[in-house]
Chain A
Amino acid sequence: MLQDFKKSILVSIWFVFLTFPLMVVRVNTMDQVVIWRWMNLVWVAIGSFILSYLWRYMLSRKQARTKVAEEGGDTRTKLQLLLEDMNFRYKAMGVILVLILIFPLVFDTYQSTIMISALIYVVLGLGLNISVGLAGLLDLGYVAFFGVGAYTYALLNHHFDLGFWITLPIGGVLGCLLGVVLGFPILRLRGDYLAIVTLGFGMIFKVVMENWDALSFGPSGIANIDRPSFFGMDLSLANSTIYIYYIMIAMVIFTILITNRLKNSRIGRAWIALREDEIACVAMGIDMAKTKLSAYALGAFWAGMVGVLFASKTTFINPASFTFMESAIILSIVVLGGMGSILGVILGAFILILLPEYMRAFSEYRMLAFGAAMVLMMIFRPQGIISNLRQTYEYKGTKEKTDNG
């Protein structure tokens, strides 16, 4: 007890020392004054003291959990058991579906717009989930594919007046193609190299879009992009928002269906095997390049499609929408929700997008919290909020039969 206290005091002093220059001192070189913010120091001291206790408690809990798992005990939580119950699942799905369908009719345009952006992130999260969650390929330039989709629609609409519905598949396919072209040379690389190359690619995309004025109109972007038309009719802003909302819902359901089927298919299993152990997987006769490439390209496909929708929703795009921060947000959605888990990713997207939206006061702390959450999740709960349950097969036959046989 006393030892814990001493440790926490030491931690607290260490953090006070660590944060002193950045948190306390602020130099204003224009007016030649130094602002000393001593109160910050007190907060840091108290905060780190409490957090160090919490840290130790969480670590001991984690150790206890792994111990139970090692002894073959049941580590499934109540929530997971509930989710496995098919009866409950169907009921819950029905309720959620109804809620989602009546949402834009009950709430105003502003709420629907926020919902649309959350849904966009759901699809992006599910797309990235294919490459990061299932195949274990850390992609830090995912936003580039999203940008490709958005620019595809914006440019085709601007130059050739092409509509939303024609461009939607084009955007997806272009994203997919780019994924293949880019992925082909780099997929032989090990995971961490892949991360940095994709990061570089994401940055290249932004730099090129900013500087290639002839193609992309540079940093000023492209404005006046058409909203999706409803059988040739032009809708008012409010109606069009509702329309886009329903398109988005359809897209989310489509994405969920496809990824769910993919997950349990032959190729999905190959992805998971590849993630778990590359060498063993290749030794089992799985074509590594093809498997990785398909994961990468399929992930890019969703991003491209959603990009088209994003451009049609905002009616204006410029390179500033496609920064590394966006990739980081999408990644934290996947990480926080649970890598590989579809339900987890959906929940993660809603939490990460809606929470800062409704808590405006804290919105500047958003990225700080995301970063911290990524670290903490990896340490204490690497499987995410809702962990991905492997499909297991149980022998359901009666005991006597096995005895007789």
Chain B
Amino acid sequence: MEYFLELFLGGTTRGSIYALIALGYTMVYGIIQLINFAHGEIYMIGAFVALIVAGVCTIYGLSGVSILILAGVIAVIYASAYGYTLEKIAYRPLRGAPRLSPLISAIGMSIFLQNYVLLAQTSDFLPFPRLIPEFAFMEPVAHIIGSPELVILVTTFITMILLTLLIKKTKVGKAMRATQQDMSMARLVGVNVDRIISLTFVIGSALAAIGGVLVASYIGQVNFYIGFLAGVKAFTAAVLGGIGSIPGAVLGGLVLGWAESFAAGYISSDYEDVFTFGLLVLILILRPSGILGKARKQKV
């Protein structure tokens, strides 16, 4: 039972990270129907920037939680800036082009960013400092759930609530929902669609960066390639929950996290990625609209 609980909590931690990244996919897809392949790379850049900031800070003598917060904030700023620029360069000129064009552009951008980080930094795995402190009150349950897991869960939870509030309660959120429903109609009623799309990329990238910082400090290492697999898995989570749906992305992330954790724990950890993709294919065959998504009829 304890093993089960451990796997469950491990899966929840993992799943909440997937959910953070999946939100970026789902929001972008909801608005411009594009799989932003480079999203995983934004997550990787977030983690890398955090690593660099943390490294510099440690060497210049800062310590503890202040580094975590500083690194996190700068990572989020940079990831957002990258997300914004990405949209402007690679996707905006292709609006209205055949569907395949932005998709190929996105793949190109993903390869470009990976190799940019590879060349600008290194191809080695870099050790990420353990920024999350061990809390004393976690001592009794430390064998099941550690402090880093707790921090990840709490941060994810708070981020999700903030995002939901932003989308449901603010004017910007309303504009985003309007753009998602009907872009040309939203434009007619005075929504600056271009700015909303940019904003979507910025928010999605910020969420990915938060995920990146959390994962990096949890796993303890960073490399230019981490974004690729994480991106594909997060996309799976987004599809699982129903792409375009925000609660769907969260649910999909959690389900995927649990599935992976249990499969690795009870069956075999070698084939972990195979389970993920198997799940993806299964869902796409059985229920392409996902758990919470609505099946949309295509109209001509």
Contacts and interface: CB of A to CB of B under 8 A. Distances in A.
B108 A332 contact: yes
A207 B275 CA distance: 11
A189 interface: yes
Contacts of B112: 368, 371-372, 374-375
A11 to B, nearest CB: 10
Interface stretch (B53-61, B142-150, B177-185): B53-61
A123 interface: no
Interface residues of B, number: 68
B107 A200 contact: no
Interface string B101-119: 1111101111111111101
Contact of B111 (A34, A197, A199, A371): A371
Contacts of B90: 375, 379
A23 B127 CA distance: 19
Nearest to B29: A192
Interface in B68-104: 74, 78, 81-82, 85, 89-90, 93-94, 97-104
B194 interface: no
By secondary structure, the B interface counts as helix
A14 interface: yes
Nearest to B53: A21
Contact of A203 (B51, B55, B277, B300): B277
Contact of A197 (B56, B82, B274, B281): B281
B232 interface: yes
B108 A186 contact: no
Contacts of B111: 328, 367-368, 370-371, 374
A368 B115 CA distance: 5
A328 B111 CA distance: 8
Given A204-B274, A382-B101, A193 B59 contact: no
A10 interface: no
B121 interface: yes
A59 B120 contact: no
Interface in B17-44: 33-35
A335 B53 CA distance: 38
A375 B93 CA distance: 10
B99 A191 contact: yes
A196 B232 contact: yes
A127 interface: no
Contacts of A132: 100
B89 A19 contact: no
B213 interface: no
Nearest to A324: B228
Given A27-B52, A371-B110, A371-B112, A199 B232 contact: yes
B264 interface: no
B266 interface: no
A208 interface: yes
Given A23-B120, A27-B59, A200-B281, A331 B107 contact: yes
Contact of A195 (B81, B103, B108, B113): B103
Interface string A199-229: 1110110011001000000000000000000
B295 interface: no
Contacts of A14: 85
B281 A378 contact: no
Nearest to B81: A18
Given A18-B85, A368-B116, A371-B112, A211 B281 contact: no
Contacts of B284: 185-186, 189, 193, 197
Contacts, number: 167
Given A21-B78, A22-B120, A208-B274, A34 B55 contact: yes
A59 to B, nearest CB: 7
Contact of B49 (A17, A21, A33, A379): A21
A208 B33 CA distance: 32
Interface in B113-166: 113-117, 119-122, 126-127, 129
B2 interface: no
A189 B35 CA distance: 14
A186 B285 contact: yes
A348 B81 CA distance: 33
B277 A375 contact: no
A331 B236 CA distance: 22
A138 to B, nearest CB: 6
Contacts of B100: 132, 136, 138, 191, 339
A25 interface: yes
Nearest to B74: A21
A86 to B, nearest CB: 31
Contacts of A279: 298, 300
A261 interface: no
Given A21-B49, A200-B277, A364-B119, 13 more contacts: A14-B85, A22-B120, A27-B55, A29-B58, A132-B100, A196-B236, A196-B280, A200-B236, A201-B281, A328-B107, A368-B116, A374-B107, A374-B112
9 contacts: A22-B48, A29-B55, A29-B126, A185-B281, A197-B277, A204-B274, A367-B114, A371-B115, A375-B112
Interface of A: 14, 17-19, 21-23, 25-27, 29, 32-34, 40, 59, 132, 136, 138, 140, 185-186, 188-189, 191-193, 195-197, 199-201, 203-204, 207-208, 211, 279, 324, 328, 331-332, 335, 339, 364-365, 367-368, 370-375, 378-379, 382
Which 5 A-B residue pairs are closest in the complex by CB-CB distance?
A: A374-B108, A371-B112, A27-B55, A371-B111, A200-B277
